[in-house]
Amino acid sequence: MISEFKQIEKLFKEIDASLRKKVKIFVIGGAVLLQQGLKPATKDIDLVIETKEEFMILKNALNSINFTVKIPNIEYKNMNLNQIFIRDDFRIDLFQKEICGRFSISNGMMERAITFIDLEKIKLNFCSNEDIFLFKTMTEREGDLEDCISLAKRGIKWEIILNELKNQIKKSRQDVWITWVGERLDILEEKGVNIPIMKEINQLRERYFKEYEKEHDF
């Protein structure tokens, strides 16, 4: 477990020194919440790389500083995770563009991201809390729903989440994602989280099920 963000800063300085070319990295998980004081520790550093070339450059750098590759287990079955890299307390979950199935980092997500660390070769961008919330509704990992609760308590712009979800569904043509996100939001409501966009989420779900029944002659 990583309990201080300065450990992550030190790690990325080490990675930066091992890179042969510049890479732009998007952080979309617990590391951002750790830096904001929204969680006491994180075991995963979730990173998204936009291009295959940058992915390979970063992968080679991690290998060169003694990170080893681990095969993703069942809790990552929906996540389209490319590789997990582990060294001591550090565990990096590395995605190339797509995060969950065809759910991918969009232009809007990149525009909302803030550059937090800018080194010689690494530009480390923090995704917005809204995009992190949406990402965490896509997973089955232990602790992600608790992170969603912490983000909601801090205050998030729900319309951004709704619009990005609609954008992802349209772009990927994966309407089924609304059922998964809807189920996770149902659980969050049961845990006491006020979700102002639930009416729209329910309408999207109902539309999906009607279309599904029509296509399958139910």
Q: How confident is the model at residue 3 (pLDDT cuts 50, 70, 90)?
A: very high
Q: Say if CB 162 and CB 203 are below 8 A apart.
A: no
The predicted pLDDT at position 17 comes to 98
Band of residue 75 on the pLDDT scale cut at 50, 70, 90 = low
The angle, 0 to 180 degrees and rounded to 10, between the axes of the packed helices 198-215 and 158-172 is 20
Strands of 34-101, DSSP E: 45-49, 68-70, 83-87, 90-96, 98-100
Q: Which domains does the chain possess?
A: 5-215 (3.30.460.40)
| Cα–Cα distance measured from residue 178 to residue 184, given in angstroms and rounded to the nearest whole number | 10
pLDDT at 152: 97
Average pLDDT over residues 159-164: 97
SS3 content of the chain, % helix, strand, coil (to 5): 50, 20, 30
- Would you say residue 217 has pLDDT above 90? no
Hey, what's the torsion of the CAs at 125, 130, 132, 135, to 10 degrees? Answer: -130
Q: What is the pLDDT of residues 80-123, one digit of tens each?
A: 557 899 999 999 999 887 776 657 889 999 999 999 999 999 99
pLDDT tens, residue by residue, 164-198: 999 988 887 777 888 989 999 999 999 999 999 99
CB 120 within 8 A of CB 14: no
In this predicted structure, what is the pLDDT of residue 204? 93
**Nearest CA-CA partner of 43 in 92, 76, 80, 85:** 92
The residue length of the chain stands at 218
Q: What is the pTM of this model?
A: 0.90
Contact yes or no for 27/127 (Cβ under 8 A): yes
Mean pLDDT of 46-70: 94
Please check whether residue 100 is in contact with residue 140, taking contact to mean a CB–CB distance below 8 angstroms: no
73 — pLDDT class (breaks 50, 70, 90): low
Q: Please, are residues 67 and 136 in contact by the beta-carbon 8 Å criterion?
A: no
